[in-house]
Amino acid sequence: MRVLVVEDEPDLLASLLQAVREDGYAADGAADGEEGLYKAESFEYDAVVLDIMLPGIAGWEVLRRLRKSKATPVLLLTARDTVRDRVRGLDGGADDYLVKPFDVEELLARLRALIRRSASQAQPTLRIGPVEIDTAARTVSLHGREVVLTAREYSLVEYLALHQGKVVTRTALYEHLFDENESSLSNLLDVHVSNIRKKLGHEFITTRRGHGYCVESTE
Ligand code: CA
Q: Cα(21)–Cα(208) distance, rounded to whole angstroms?
A: 30
Query: How far, in Å, from the CA of 92 to the mean position of ligand 1?
Result: 18
Query: How far, in Å, from the CA of 111 to the mean position of ligand 1?
Result: 19
Which secondary-structure segment (H or E) carries 166? none
pTM beyond 0.85: the answer is: no
Q: Is the peptide bond before 55 cis (omega within 30 degrees of 0)?
A: no
Q: Are 126 and 118 in contact (CB under 8 A)?
A: no
Query: How far, in Å, from the CA of 117 to the mean position of ligand 1?
Result: 27
Q: Are 53 and 183 in contact (CB under 8 A)?
A: no
Ion ligand 1, residues whose Cβ is below 5 A away:
8, 51, 53
32-40's contacts with Cβ under 8 Å and 24+ in sequence apart are 32/6, 32/8, 32/56, 32/57, 33/6, 33/57, 33/58, 33/59, 33/61, 33/62, 35/6, 36/4, 36/6, 36/62, 37/62, 37/65, 37/66, 39/4, 40/4, 40/6, 40/66, 40/70, 40/72
The class of domain 125-214 in CATH terms is mainly alpha
Query: How far, in Å, from the CA of 70 to the mean position of ligand 1?
Result: 23
Percent of residues in the chain assigned helix, strand, coil, to nearest 5: 40, 20, 35
The pLDDT score that the predictor gives to residue 118 is: 84
Per-residue pLDDT tens over the stretch 26-81:
999 999 999 999 999 999 999 999 999 999 899 999 999 999 999 999 999 998 77
Could you tell me the residue ranges of all domains in the chain?
2-118, 125-214
User: Does domain 2-118 sit in CATH 3.40.50.620?
Assistant: no
Per-residue pLDDT tens over the stretch 115-146:
888 887 778 899 999 999 998 889 999 999 99
- What is the arithmetic mean of pLDDT over 12-19? 96
